[in-house]
Amino acid sequence: MPEIAHTDVAIIGAGPAGLMAALALSRLGIVVKIIDRRLPGEIAGQADGIQPRMIEIWDSFGIGDRLRRKGIHVHKTARRNGTGITKSAETLNITVSSTKYPYEVLAPIDVIEGILMDALREHHVFVEQPMVPIDLMIHETSDDNHNDYPVEFTLAKLSEDYIRSRNVSQADRSNLADDADAVESIQVLRAKYLIGCDGAHSWVRKKVGISVGGDQTELTWGVIDFTPVTNLPSCRAKNIIQSPTFGAMGYLPRPNDTARMYILHETPVSSGSGDVLDQQLSVKVADRTPQAIETSFLPFKMEATNVTWSSIYKVAQRVAESFSHKNRVFIAGDACHTHSPKGGQGANASMTDACNLAWKLAYVIRGWAAPAGGLLSSYEDERRPFSKALIEFDKEIFKLFNPRGVAPEEYQELWRLNNMFTSGIGLRYSSSLVVPKFHELAPGLAIGERFPRGNVIRQCDWNPVDLQDLMPYDGNFRLLLFPGDINQPVTAHCLQQSVTALMGDRVGRQCGTSTFKLEIIAVLNASKETDMHSLLPELPIPPKNVYVDDGLRDVGTTGKLYLEFGIKAGGGVAALVRPDGHICMLVPLNPVDVLAVKSYLASL
């Protein structure tokens, strides 16, 4: 009988969802074990488009710059239409301006996963691979016991040599458990929680009996990665093309002067699986596609050389009926939702699932939130409606395609209308964790959405800072105080009293001596030259947490952010921001109303 190992959270699958979940949990001090059936270094040609909100999130993990450095920045989509391709394509801005990064980063999946794995290594977490789960059992436990390890499963460490020598496909590796030559060791692991991040055909999802609802589309797509030899003027932007012969095509630039092309196929191909289809067909695509590409870009030259990967797939538009089982097993990423890659959303949605879930699990495991309270169930309450909206958007995209092709102008119009959604910037949660009150105090701060960017000056050293940079993914809640015109003695007094009231005793549920932190940040509607000490002699927060709404050099910029957020000079407001950067509550800033923040945190 193998020895039983223990971990706080076990994660099956090390794609974007699994790696992000492991990283987020590790940052919050949670012990994780993450496994994958892939061989080390084995890649799957999938996601490459990272949306603006995800770049912001990567920044909050301290890894955004690595992604921006390694990826292509795409600011515009060009659309090219019909016979005799237009010389000057019409273009559309890729995304909204209300983000620091108004562009999409395109980076191959191995680059994306590589950065996440490097970051994980810094936390001494390594993906164990090739490894598959072979059995799962959930022991009875009380709902309120966060010290118990009720999730037990058996894992098989597979032989790399065996897999390589017999060229065992990824899907078939789960069937190797009975083959003594293929299995190096068997391990039994007990975990407090399990996250199934094991993709569209999730073993975990099936094992706990979660069904998926939705359909498979009738359209078949080919995808090919290659090095273009071209004189196309917009060859380093996205291009949507309507070819009279070959129908709809999407062209994406990739790093190292390479590119990816999506091509709609006229003949639907039958498949039971719902995603990538068989190898032979993929080869056919690779054979046929270079010619289609050459013809469709005329009069420009577009030669597809050095084809490194190709595939053909049919799209399943499905959402799992539930995202969790017994509040102990959760699923995230493609295990919960699948749709077409056309919107460049799958990996983004998967990593956002992980970020939404990780801090909630960490709070419960560390004893800062009740296991049976609403925190864990809010994961499904927040992410499932989003997944359904994503499928609806995908259906809209599909309406624009038919076997004869796509109207690029309609495609672009759909994008323009859905920019807030596709960029991730407009994601708004609505659940028991989000309190929809006092919106009128700051109409520019949407309750449920991520806290927007905003330039301010730090009073203690006059450094310009973006408010978003004050919100790393470190497990802390943050309360941003906007007191109004601080030159008014009554406002200054009210601010001091409010902070004093908040600091009276611990915030949140206490576990032993540990609790999470509520970081208080004041943003004052004042000039950078204001003498803060004389105005606020008793403000009990560190000077580094006091900012003014002013520009560094510009004159007349005082109060711009207050204006943008719609905060009136005479009426203060406090915004509570969750560890994942979403605003969950607004309250009037006075010593009485601000106590609602404490009640909220104590009720987690």
Residues binding ligand FAD (CB under 6 A): 12-18, 35-38, 46-49, 132-133, 170, 174, 197-199, 203, 223, 333-334, 341, 344-348, 350
Least spacing, CB of residue 54 vs ligand FAD, in Å? 8
**Torsion region of 438: left, alpha or beta (phi above 0 gives left; psi -120 to 50 gives alpha):** left
State how beta strands 238-243 and 49-50 pair.
Answer: unpaired
Supply the minimum distance, in Å, between the C-beta of residue 289 and ligand FAD. 14
**151 near 10, Cβ under 8 Å?**
yes
| Integer Cα distance of 364 and 372 in angstroms | 9
Smallest separation (angstroms) from ligand FAD to the CB of 138: 17
Residue 12 is inside which H or E element, if any? strand 4-12
The whole-angstrom separation of Cα 317 and Cα 311 is 19
> Nearer Cβ to ligand FAD, position 144 or 218?
218
- Taking the complex as a whole, the smallest distance from the CB of residue 114 to ligand FAD amounts, in Å, to 13
φ, ψ at 381 (rounded to 5°) = -60, -30
Cβ closer to ligand FAD: 339 or 478?
339
- Among residues 81 and 352, whose Cβ is nearest to ligand FAD? 352
Taking the least distance from each CB to ligand FAD, the nearer of 154 and 487 is 154
DSSP-derived pairing of the beta strands 329-331 and 183-196:
parallel
Q: How far apart are CA 375 and CA 310, in angstroms?
A: 42
Dump the DSSP string for 513-575: TB---EEEEEEESS-TT--HHHH-TT--S-GGGEEES--SS-SS-TTHHHHHHT--TTS-EEE
Angle at 316 between CA 310 and CA 321, to 5 degrees: 140
Instruction: Indicate the residue among 12 and 434 with the shorter CB distance to ligand FAD.
Output: 12
Closest approach of ligand FAD to the CB of residue 448, in Å: 22
Q: How far is the CB of 520 from ligand FAD (least distance, A)?
A: 35
Taking the C-alpha atoms of residue 259 and residue 256, their distance in angstroms, rounded to an integer, is 9
Of 48 and 549, which has the nearer Cβ to ligand FAD?
48
The nearest distance, CB 171 to ligand FAD, in angstroms, is 8
Tokens of 247: 């129908």
CB of 170: closest distance to ligand FAD in angstroms? Answer: 5
What minimum distance in Å lies between the beta carbon of 316 and ligand FAD? 11
Nearest residue (CB) to ligand FAD, 278 versus 440: 278
Quick one: 73 or 568, whose CB is closer to ligand FAD?
73
Question: Taking the mean position of all CA atoms in its chain, how far away is CA 130?
Answer: 25
Which of left, alpha, beta for 329 (phi over 0: left; psi -120 to 50: alpha)? Answer: beta
Which of 17/365 has CB closer to ligand FAD?
Answer: 17
Give me the least distance between CB of 350 and ligand FAD, in Å please. Answer: 4
CA distances from 368 to 121, 279, 515, 604 (A): 27, 49, 6, 8
Rounded to whole angstroms, the Cα distance separating 278 from 285 reads 11
**Distance from the Cα of residue 561 to its chain's centroid:** 27
Nearer to ligand FAD, 199 or 475 (CB): 199
| Least distance in angstroms from the C-beta of 264 to ligand FAD | 13
Task: Give how far Cα 133 sits from Cα of 153, 177, 350, 541, Å.
Answer: 7, 9, 21, 49
Question: In degrees to the nearest 10, what's the CA dihedral of 192, 198, 202, 206?
Answer: -10
Question: Whole-number minimum distance, CB 260 to ligand FAD, in Å?
Answer: 8
Tokens of 553: 């050099």
Residue 19 in contact with residue 120, Cβ under 8 Å? yes
Question: Rounded distance, CA 226 to CA 306, Å?
Answer: 5
Residue with smaller CB distance to ligand FAD, 203 or 330:
203
Query: What's the DSSP call for residue 402?
Result: E
Cα separation values, 132 from 26, 163, 191, 243, Å: 22, 13, 16, 44
Q: Which is nearer to ligand FAD, 149 or 221 (CB)?
A: 221
